[in-house]
């Protein structure tokens, strides 16, 4: 913008600011590439709106200071916490909140030292590396070990608290972990909980969402499903969801990896015949139905009806 300050009474063009920032485009890709996660997307949209409005307010001389954007992501395994965190750095960079937009992903090992006096420099070094970007602490509850009162994790937490308070404009801290354990972590570290403005809960995926995720994964891996396989996959997801060790999208990815194995094995078994591009791409129903999920379900069904 050239020229001096904008006259205070001139209306500001929100639409133009929106177009200029490229936020719309960003949210559209997010919608296209990530299935479900409605509350998460809503929160991202809110943050985007806030940052945009803050920019406009600044133009007319209103300032509330940069908002605190530290976040905690909680949810069951495989609900996309890490994936979103990776995206978050890019999103915040595009919105002009963080200067560099890189992500430093760490776990307890990178923060906590092995002997007295080792933790503080280690944590500070990680924090320095994350400046201008996002510090992502995966499975943050491991930092706090109540069963060992001399654990050095507490020291790392204290340094993080200080950084989250004092260097808010230099970096964004995202903590991630499973819901119940994170809740316990926050209960025992109330200072941490209150310094985090955004507690985002990742919901489990529904049947249709999982199916859509499988579709996206296959597309990315350049496979396709035959019509029978489509129904088989639907049934597979239904049965897999009922099992205790179900880990949402991660289970789906593993299932698809195993289907690829069987697909390759089937092609090998049929050696001699010329292979078409089609055959190399297509996963058949038999590749999916060979899964343990189906055979075990059949076995229990037989047991219950002798």
Partner 1 sequence: MRLTQGTFSFLPDLSDDQISNQIEYCLENGWAVSIEYTDDPHPRNTYWEMFGNPMFDLRDAAGVMKEVSAARTTFPNHYIKVNAFDATRGVESLRLSFIVNRPDPEPGFGLVRQEVDGRAIRYTLRAYATDQPEGERYQ
Interacting residues toward partner 1 by CB under 8 A: 99-100, 102, 121, 125, 127-129, 131-133, 167, 170-171
Cβ(180)–Cβ(141) below 8 Å: no
CB closer to partner 1, 132 vs 234: 132
Cβ(53)–Cβ(39) below 8 Å: no
CB closer to partner 1, 57 vs 100: 100
Classify burial at 74, counting beta carbons within 10 Å of its beta carbon; exposed 0-12, middle 13-18, buried 19 or more. Answer: buried
Nearest to 92 by CA among 236, 198, 184: 198
Measured between alpha carbons, how far is residue 83 from residues 35, 77, 190, 202, 216 in Å? 12, 12, 27, 12, 14
CB closer to partner 1, 102 vs 250: 102
CB closer to partner 1, 53 vs 86: 86
Least separation in angstroms between CB 99 and partner 1: 6
Least separation in angstroms between CB 120 and partner 1: 11
Least separation in angstroms between CB 118 and partner 1: 13
Cβ(73)–Cβ(81) below 8 Å: yes
Least separation in angstroms between CB 162 and partner 1: 12
CB closer to partner 1, 117 vs 121: 121
Least separation in angstroms between CB 131 and partner 1: 4
CB closer to partner 1, 125 vs 208: 125
| Chain mean position to CA 134 | 13
Least separation in angstroms between CB 111 and partner 1: 15
Nearest to 259 by CA among 281, 290, 298, 238: 290
CB closer to partner 1, 174 vs 213: 174
CB closer to partner 1, 24 vs 125: 125
First to last CA, the chain: 80
| Chain mean position to CA 217 | 16
Sheet holding 134-138, edge to edge: 103-106, 134-138, 172-177, 71-75, 198-202
Helix axes 81-94, 23-33, angle to 10 degrees: 170
Classify burial at 85, counting beta carbons within 10 Å of its beta carbon; exposed 0-12, middle 13-18, buried 19 or more. Answer: buried
Q: What are phi and psi for residue 239, nearest 5 degrees?
A: -70, -40
Least separation in angstroms between CB 130 and partner 1: 8
Least separation in angstroms between CB 156 and partner 1: 17
């Amino acid at each position: 913008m050239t020229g001096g300050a904008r006259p205070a009474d001139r209306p500001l063009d929100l639409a133009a600011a929106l177009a200029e920032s490229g936020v719309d485009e960003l949210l559209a890709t997010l919608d296209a590439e990530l299935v479900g996660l409605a509350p998460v997307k809503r929160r991202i949209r809110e943050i985007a709106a806030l940052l945009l409005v803050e920019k406009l307010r600044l133009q007319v001389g209103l300032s509330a200071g940069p908002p605190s954007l530290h976040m905690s992501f909680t949810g069951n395994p495989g609900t996309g916490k890490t994936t979103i965190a990776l995206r978050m750095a890019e999103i915040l960079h595009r919105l002009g909140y963080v200067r560099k937009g890189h992500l430093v992903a760490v776990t307890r090992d990178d923060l906590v030292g092995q002997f007295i006096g080792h933790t503080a420099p280690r944590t500070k070094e990680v924090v320095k590396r994350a400046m201008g970007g996002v510090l992502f602490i995966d499975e943050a509850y491991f930092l706090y070990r109540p069963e060992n009162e001399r654990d050095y994790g507490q020291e790392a937490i204290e340094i993080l608290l200080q950084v989250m308070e004092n260097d808010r404009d230099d970096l964004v801290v995202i903590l991630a972990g499973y819901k119940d354990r994170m809740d316990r972590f926050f209960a025992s570290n109330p200072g941490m909980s209150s310094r985090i403005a955004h507690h985002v809960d990742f919901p489990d995926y529904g049947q249709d969402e999982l199916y859509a995720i499988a579709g996206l994964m296959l597309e990315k891996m350049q496979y396709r499903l035959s019509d029978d396989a489509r129904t088989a996959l639907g049934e597979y997801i239904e049965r897999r969801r009922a099992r205790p060790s179900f880990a949402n999208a991660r289970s789906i990815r593993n299932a698809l990896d195993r289907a690829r194995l069987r697909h390759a094995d089937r092609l090998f078994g049929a050696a001699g015949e010329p292979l078409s591009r089609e055959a190399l791409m297509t996963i058949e129903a038999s590749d999916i139905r060979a899964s343990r999920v189906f055979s075990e379900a059949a076995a229990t069904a037989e047991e219950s009806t002798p």
